[in-house]
Amino acid sequence: MKFMLIFILWCVLFVLAWPVALLALIVLPVVWLLSIPFRIFGALVSAILALLKAILMLPARALGHRG
C-alpha cells in the first residue's frame, strides 16, 4: 500500500516536473545507502540502553517488583 502511494506521487511529480522526478530516482538510493551506518548506530545505541536498563532494574526484579 505504501509503495503504491509513493509510486502514484512519483508519477504526479514526473508529470509536473520530470527533471526533479528523474533526479529523485538517482539521489534517493544514494541517500539510502548513506543512511545505513546511522541506522546501525541507532540500533546499537538502543541495544546498549536496553542492556543498561536491564542491569539497573535487576535488583528490583530480584526483590519481586513486577514493572
- Going from N- to C-terminal start, the domains of the chain cover 2-62
- Residue 52 CA to residue 9 CA, distance in Å, equals 43
- Which residues 6+ apart lie within 8 Å of 21 measured at CB? 10, 13, 14
Q: In the block, which residue shows the cell 528523474?
A: 22
* Residue 24 and residue 11 in contact, taking contact as beta carbons nearer than 8 Å: no
Q: How confident is the model at residue 23 (pLDDT cuts 50, 70, 90)?
A: very high
Residue 59 has which C-alpha cell?
A: 535488583
Task: Write down the pTM of the prediction.
Answer: 0.60
Give the pLDDT band of residue 67 (cuts 50, 70, 90).
Answer: low
pLDDT surpasses 70 at 31? yes
Residue 56 clears pLDDT 70, i.e. is over it = yes
Q: Are 10 and 21 in contact (CB under 8 A)?
A: yes
**If you average pLDDT over residues 22-50, what whole number do you get?**
95
Q: Is the pLDDT reported for residue 29 higher than 70?
A: yes
